[in-house]
Amino acid sequence: MKIHIYDSLPSTNTLAKEIAAKGAESGTVIVAKRQTAGRGRYGKSFYSPEGGIYMSIILSTAELKLTDITDITRLAGIKTAQAIETVTGRKLTVKGINDLMLDGRKICGILTETVTSPDGKIDWVVIGIGINVMRQDFPDDIKDIAGDLHGDELLKARIIQSLFNIFL
């Protein structure tokens, strides 16, 4: 497993897709302390300041038994919720297929994207995970829906370790 850690990136998924297209090893992980252009489904912005977990996992489709991207996203949401629950003891709910909720607020988003070969075959799946760990002052447009785990650096490290254990 190769882990690339950055202080700041526009988007961990963007870099992960670039690395995958160049033949990355399955299981490669990109982690950033913050993202300047984090995004969610349908091109929506994903607020990603320092204090959260922003990571992308590159998986080869040759190793995946699931073929539907919706199934992969749903499974990633369930597994991410399990990782957080294991560490915090708090019960999360999955809204839709890619949002994790705590006390009625979104604390995590999942964005799954593919990388295709020139012939159109899906070779790689990139699973992006954004978790609001530390207390945040959210922008006005999301302050009524976004939440966080009220955690610290130790909680961040423990959740990342739990994610690695569950996903890889």
Residuewise pLDDT in 10s, the chain (168 residues): 799 999 999 999 999 999 999 988 999 999 999 999 888 777 777 889 889 999 999 988 776 665 566 788 899 999 999 999 999 999 999 998 889 999 999 999 999 998 888 887 888 899 999 999 998 889 998 999 999 999 999 999 999 999 988 887
Q: What is the pLDDT of residue 126?
A: 94
How many separate domains does the chain show?
Answer: 1
pLDDT confidence of residue 66: 55
> Could you identify the residue written with the tokens 């499974």?
75
Show the beta-strand stretches assigned E in 61-166.
93-95, 99-102, 105-116, 122-132
Three-class SS state of 65: coil
| pLDDT (0 to 100) of residue 145 | 93
Which regions of the chain does DSSP assign to beta strands (E)? 3-9, 29-35, 52-60, 93-95, 99-102, 105-116, 122-132
Give the residue numbers spanning the domain of 77.
3-167
- What's residue 57's pLDDT? 94
| CATH number for the domain that contains residue 13 | 3.30.930.10
d(CA 120, CA 142): 36
